[in-house]
């Protein structure tokens, strides 16, 4: 996948040199192994810093919200679906964007690699399908498929759904993926067990809001947890307030979430917050045959009325 | 004061004895794979193989949510609408396995909670009731930059005892009266005299310091003009990737900011003190609706200017950072205080030129 970088630089440099865009949003190399940092280039010369590899899991659509410039943006499958959602929700205009599409083979899970490696990691690099991890005097090789982020392992939209130019050859989409194994397990729990499961899941939350802020969908000028008139939830560590935040945040993403995994990737205490959004994704698929961000022409299910709605209460 | 030898075979017994007099906290591994400080139950041991905890031990003295007062709104009650202090019932606490950087952080935080004009009773009472048993870092992490931020892997400030892992035993350097009392309660009394451990300890300290690979330069921070630094052109670039979450501030052992909120349930309520973060827009939102730090550039700049410039100027006690590296490791978008400190420290106002388009 890192072979895309030459094309990314070439396209970005051209766009900036020709004045087609005011800035290109992409990634630069981070200061730690397996971390790249979202960055912008405003001059053609700045594009030399751009990088692309399996550590670009942050969703760049998050950096487009309400921007006024003409922007070149690097977009893997999930980013492109969130760009579509942003356009539908009027957070950016299609004409403002030049989308550099990246067919994606998945991002690696830095925590899984750290767990499996054991010691302090000094350097990580990748060859085609292998991730090579170096520590003090040791080296371990992992097949990339074993260390993918969970959302990438079950991704069925690796190719960008919208783009102006591609920086690599389209990849084969994964078929026969069971996206909802974990969700079915939770659905089958009796209510009390479910309650315990969720309480336990959220017990380490520190309310830093990294999950919310990493999410391209969470762009409200004032989030409901920050409202003070009226104040909907307490701001402390009371489990009821912590759980209310997570449940409502997930509901606000119903029919919009692309399962990009930015929330879980950002969480400093490793909470599997995707279990909430995926349940709603599954419901939207089953009730409305809907997957978010695939087309600019279809309205999301929660902002249209259909006479044939599968639920009776709305008819 | 003196050095005591603790055989690792008897370590657990000593800790159990401690639990009779102290509530003992130590690093415990969570199901998610990282460590947190937790009160240890009978028979439960701290995991001293932990490199460091995911969050700092600051919450033991300054909890994320803390009830200060309680009140009743029920007018049938004689004391309705009167704030009554919540009795903390402080019992003696011991924190075992504190890393020297995290201990040093209490000294910096104390500058805020213990001033000539104002003494914060909640923080000071909890702090006074706590004995800190440190654990020297024989093997610091790659992101530790303690030696250039005012402490080091064997640093002793704010610790009551410093434990040094010597293989078969711990050398316990008793540093304060509190520490001596704790050692007595644990039955740790084998004073080390003959083995010449001092020499071995010095070697081990030197070896640990030599393993620190990450550094910051802070020598020019005081002299760089505040307004010039505030106006520096690099803030837009630093702030770009920031998502304005509170991870860095909540993970930081030296961030002390809090918010006060009344939580009412029916007819009764509590006045809570909760951690707050300068990364949040709400932190500075005025009642008028005006927000003096309305953009993330303002907020990111504030965090770094506070830690690396305002604090340095105000207290003359170095930077408000102990080099634990938590924010570096946990930032979801890899904003790195070491890099920002470098930019600030090397900022040359005379060389400032506008970028050519």
User: Cβ contact (<8 Å) for B333 and A37?
Assistant: yes
d(CA B308, CA B306): 6
What is the count of structural domains for chain A? 2
What is the value of pTM for the model shown? 0.95
d(CA B102, CA B303): 19
Share of chain A above pLDDT 90, in %: 90
Say yes or no: B98 and B129 in one domain: yes
Provide the pLDDT for residue A93: 98
Share of chain A above pLDDT 70, in %: 99
Cα dihedral angle (B34, B38, B42, B45), rounded to 10 degrees? 40
Residues in chain A within 8 Å Cβ distance of B261: 234-236
Say yes or no: A247 and A163 in one domain: no
Say yes or no: B186 and B114 in one domain: yes
Cβ-count burial of B72 within 10 angstroms (0-12 exposed, 13-18 middle, 19+ buried)? Answer: middle
In a domain, A128, yes or no: no
B247 interfaces chain A, CB cutoff of 8 Å: yes
In B, minimum Cα distance to A263 occurs at B332
In a domain, B69, yes or no: no
> What average pLDDT does range B197-202 have in this prediction?
80
d(CA B301, CA B282): 16
> What average pLDDT does range A224-229 have in this prediction?
89
Residues in contact with A104: Cβ distance below 8 Å, sequence separation at least 6, in sequence order: A1, A76, A77, A78, A152, A155, A158, A159, A171
Cβ under 8 Å to B: A residues 87-116? 111, 115
Say yes or no: B269 and B329 in one domain: yes
In a domain, B64, yes or no: no
Left if phi > 0, otherwise alpha if psi is -120 to 50, otherwise beta: which for A99?
Answer: beta
Residue B7 Cα, gap to closest chain A Cα (Å): 27
In A, minimum Cα distance to B335 occurs at A37
User: Cβ contact (<8 Å) for A111 and B143?
Assistant: no
Largest CA distance in chain B: 73
Q: Distance from CA of residue B294 to its chain's centroid?
A: 28
Q: What is the Cβ-side half-sphere exposure of residue A53, based on CA atoms within 13 angstroms?
A: 22
In a domain, A281, yes or no: yes
d(CA A17, CA A29): 23
Lowest-confidence pick of A194-208, B74-88, B318-332, B342-356: B342-356
Say whether pLDDT at A315 is over 80: no
**Which residue is listed with tokens 């700049």?**
B301
Closest CA to A194 of A284, A286, A279, A287: A279
In a domain, A2, yes or no: yes
B209 interfaces chain A, CB cutoff of 8 Å: no
Q: Which residues pair with A143 in a beta bridge?
A: A130
B267 interfaces chain A, CB cutoff of 8 Å: no
Q: What is the Cβ-side half-sphere exposure of residue A97, based on CA atoms within 13 angstroms?
A: 28
Say yes or no: B154 and B207 in one domain: yes
Mark A230-266 as b/e (b = at least 16 C-beta within 10 Å). eeebbbbbbeebbbbbbebbbebbbbbbbbbbbbbbb
In a domain, B152, yes or no: yes
Say yes or no: B264 and B175 in one domain: no
Say yes or no: A162 and A17 in one domain: yes
Provide the pLDDT for residue B189: 87
Interface test with A, best of B55, B64, B240, B243 (most A CBs within 10 A): B243
Say yes or no: A187 and A255 in one domain: yes
In a domain, B79, yes or no: no
Say yes or no: B115 and B178 in one domain: yes
Residues in chain B within 8 Å Cβ distance of A265: 332
A238 interfaces chain B, CB cutoff of 8 Å: yes
d(CA A49, CA A301): 40
In a domain, A142, yes or no: no
Rg (CA), chain B: 23
User: Cβ contact (<8 Å) for B274 and A237?
Assistant: yes
Q: Which residues pair with B173 in a beta bridge?
A: B3, B162
Say yes or no: B187 and B270 in one domain: no
Residue B34 Cα, gap to closest chain A Cα (Å): 8
Q: Is B71 helix (H, G, I), strand (E, B) or coil?
A: strand
From B211, B235, B261, the end of a domain falls on B211
Cα separation values, A166 from A101, A107, A260, B121, Å: 5, 18, 20, 61
Say yes or no: B206 and B242 in one domain: no
The domain containing residue B186 runs over which residues? 2-58+88-211
* Token reading at A293: 């961000």
Say yes or no: B172 and B23 in one domain: yes
Say whether pLDDT at A228 is over 80: yes
Residue A276 Cα, gap to closest chain B Cα (Å): 18
Signed CA dihedral, B153, B154, B156, B158: sign only? positive
User: Cβ contact (<8 Å) for A32 and B143?
Assistant: yes
Query: What is the spatial order of strands in the sheet that A138-143 belongs to?
Result: A121-127, A130-135, A138-143
> What average pLDDT does range B204-230 have in this prediction?
96
In A, minimum Cα distance to B239 occurs at A39
pLDDT band at residue B1 using 50, 70 and 90 as cut-offs: low
Q: Distance from CA of residue A90 to its chain's centroid?
A: 19
From A128, A145, A177, the end of a domain falls on A177
pLDDT tens digit string along B157-194? 999 999 999 999 999 999 999 999 999 999 998 777 65
In B, minimum Cα distance to A38 occurs at B241
Say yes or no: B198 and B265 in one domain: no
Mark B262-292 as b/e (b = at least 16 C-beta within 10 Å). ebeeeeebbbbbbbbbbbbbbbebeeeeeee
Q: Is B55 helix (H, G, I), strand (E, B) or coil?
A: coil
Left if phi > 0, otherwise alpha if psi is -120 to 50, otherwise beta: which for B325?
Answer: left
From A145, A177, A209, the end of a domain falls on A177
pLDDT tens digit string along A1-49? 567 999 999 999 999 999 999 999 999 999 999 999 999 999 999 999 9
Q: Distance from CA of residue B287 to its chain's centroid?
A: 31
pLDDT band at residue B349 using 50, 70 and 90 as cut-offs: confident
Cis peptide before A230 (omega within 30 of 0): yes
Say yes or no: B204 and B292 in one domain: no
User: Cβ contact (<8 Å) for B243 and A265?
Assistant: no
d(CA B290, CA B308): 27
In a domain, B356, yes or no: no
In a domain, B268, yes or no: yes
Say yes or no: A160 and A257 in one domain: no
In a domain, B217, yes or no: no
DSSP conformation class of A188: T
Residue B117 Cα, gap to closest chain A Cα (Å): 28
What is the count of structural domains for chain B? 2
In a domain, A112, yes or no: no
In a domain, B71, yes or no: no
Say whether pLDDT at B355 is over 60: no
DSSP annotation string for A241-255: HHHHHHHHHHHHTTT
Interface test with B, best of A59, A206, A220 (most B CBs within 10 A): A206
The domain containing residue A88 runs over which residues? 1-105+156-177
Query: What is the spatial order of strands in the sheet that A23-29 belongs to?
Result: A36-41, A23-29, A71-75, A97-101, A165-166
Say yes or no: B234 and B205 in one domain: no
Cβ-count burial of B23 within 10 angstroms (0-12 exposed, 13-18 middle, 19+ buried)? Answer: middle
User: Cβ contact (<8 Å) for B243 and A234?
Assistant: no
In a domain, A311, yes or no: yes
Say yes or no: A282 and A223 in one domain: yes
Cα separation values, B125 from A95, B90, B113, B256, Å: 60, 7, 11, 16
Mark A91-121 as b/e (b = at least 16 C-beta within 10 Å). bbeeebbbbbbbbbbbbbbbbbbbeebeeeb
Cβ under 8 Å to A: B residues 60-79? 64-65
**Which residue is listed with tokens 């920050």?**
A226
Residues in chain B within 8 Å Cβ distance of A122: 142
In B, minimum Cα distance to A221 occurs at B281
Lowest-confidence pick of B72-81, B243-252, B344-353: B344-353
d(CA B90, CA A65): 48
Closest CA to B29 of B53, B58, B61, B57: B53
From B211, B240, B268, the end of a domain falls on B211
pLDDT tens digit string along B90-115? 789 999 999 999 999 999 999 999 99
In B, minimum Cα distance to A56 occurs at B333
Say yes or no: A309 and A238 in one domain: yes
Left if phi > 0, otherwise alpha if psi is -120 to 50, otherwise beta: which for A209?
Answer: left
B357 interfaces chain A, CB cutoff of 8 Å: yes
ipTM of the complex: 0.95
In a domain, A110, yes or no: no
Say yes or no: A215 and A240 in one domain: yes
Say yes or no: A167 and A253 in one domain: no
In a domain, A137, yes or no: no
Residue B1 Cα, gap to closest chain A Cα (Å): 35
Closest CA to B340 of B300, B312, B313, B311: B300
């Amino acid at each position: 996948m890192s072979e895309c970088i030459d094309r990314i630089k070439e396209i970005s440099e051209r766009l900036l040199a020709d004045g087609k865009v005011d800035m290109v949003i992409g990634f630069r190399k981070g200061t730690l192994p397996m971390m790249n940092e979202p960055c912008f280039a405003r001059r053609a010369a700045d594009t030399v810093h751009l990088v692309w590899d399996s550590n670009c899991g942050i969703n760049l659509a998050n950096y487009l919200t309400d921007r006024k410039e003409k922007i070149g943006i690097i977009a893997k499958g999930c980013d492109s679906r969130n760009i579509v959602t942003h356009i539908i929700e009027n957070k950016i205009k299609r004409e403002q964007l030049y989308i550099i599409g990246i067919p994606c083979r998945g991002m690696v899970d830095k925590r899984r690699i750290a767990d499996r490696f054991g010691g302090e990691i000094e350097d990580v690099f990748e060859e085609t399908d292998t991730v090579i991890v170096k520590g003090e005097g040791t080296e371990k090789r992992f097949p990339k498929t074993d260390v993918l982020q969970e959302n990438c392992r079950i991704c069925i939209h690796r190719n960008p759904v919208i783009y102006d130019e591609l920086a690599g050859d389209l990849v084969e989409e994964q078929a026969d993926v069971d996206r909802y194994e974990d969700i079915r397990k939770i659905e089958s729990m009796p209510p009390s067990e479910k309650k315990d499961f969720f309480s336990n899941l959220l017990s380490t939350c520190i309310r830093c809001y990294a999950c919310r802020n990493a999410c391209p969908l969470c762009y409200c000028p004032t989030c409901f947890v920050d409202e003070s008139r009226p104040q909907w939830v307490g701001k402390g560590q009371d489990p009821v307030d912590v759980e209310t935040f997570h449940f409502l945040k997930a509901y606000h993403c119903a029919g919009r979430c692309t399962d990009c995994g930015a929330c879980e990737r950002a969480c400093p205490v490793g909470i599997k917050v995707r279990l909430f959004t995926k349940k709603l994704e599954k419901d939207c698929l089953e009730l409305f045959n809907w997957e978010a961000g695939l087309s600019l022409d279809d309205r999301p299910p929660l902002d249209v009325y259909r006479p044939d709605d599968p639920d009776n209460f709305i008819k | 004061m003196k050095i005591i030898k603790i055989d690792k075979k008897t370590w657990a017994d000593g800790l159990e004895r401690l639990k009779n007099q102290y509530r003992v906290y130590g690093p415990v591994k969570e199901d998610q794979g990282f460590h947190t400080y937790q009160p240890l139950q009978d028979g439960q041991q701290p995991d001293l193989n932990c490199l460091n905890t995911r969050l700092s031990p600051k919450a033991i003295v300054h909890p994320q949510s803390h009830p200060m007062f309680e009140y009743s709104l029920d007018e049938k009650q004689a004391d309705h609408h009167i704030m009554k202090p919540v009795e903390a019932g402080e019992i003696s606490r011991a924190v075992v396995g504190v890393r020297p950087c995290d201990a040093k952080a209490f000294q910096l935080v104390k500058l805020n909670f213990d001033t000539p004009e104002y003494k914060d009773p909640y923080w000071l009472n909890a702090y006074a009731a706590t004995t800190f048993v440190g654990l020297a870092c024989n093997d610091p992490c790659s992101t530790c930059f303690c030696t250039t931020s005012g402490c080091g892997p064997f640093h002793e400030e704010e610790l009551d005892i410093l434990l040094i892992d010597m293989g078969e035993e711990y050398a316990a350097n008793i540093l304060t009266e509190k520490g001596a009392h704790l050692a007595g309660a644990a039955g740790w009394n084998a004073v080390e005299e003959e083995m010449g451990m001092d020499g071995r300890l010095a070697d081990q300290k030197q070896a640990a310091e030599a393993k620190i690979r990450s550094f910051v330069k802070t020598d020019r921070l005081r002299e760089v003009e505040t307004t010039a630094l505030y106006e520096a052109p690099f803030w837009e670039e630093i702030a770009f990737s920031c998502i304005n979450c509170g991870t860095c501030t909540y993970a930081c052992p030296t961030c002390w900011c809090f918010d006060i909120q009344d939580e009412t349930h029916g007819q009764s309520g509590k006045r809570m003190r909760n951690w707050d973060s300068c990364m949040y827009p709400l932190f500075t939102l005025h009642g008028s609706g005006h927000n003096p730090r309305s953009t993330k550039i303002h907020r990111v700049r504030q965090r770094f200017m506070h830690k690396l410039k305002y604090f340095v100027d105000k207290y003359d006690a170095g930077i408000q950072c102990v080099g634990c590296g938590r924010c570096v490791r946990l930032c979801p978008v890899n904003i790195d205080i070491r890099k920002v400190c470098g930019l600030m420290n090397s900022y040359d106002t005379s060389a400032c030129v506008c970028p050519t388009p």
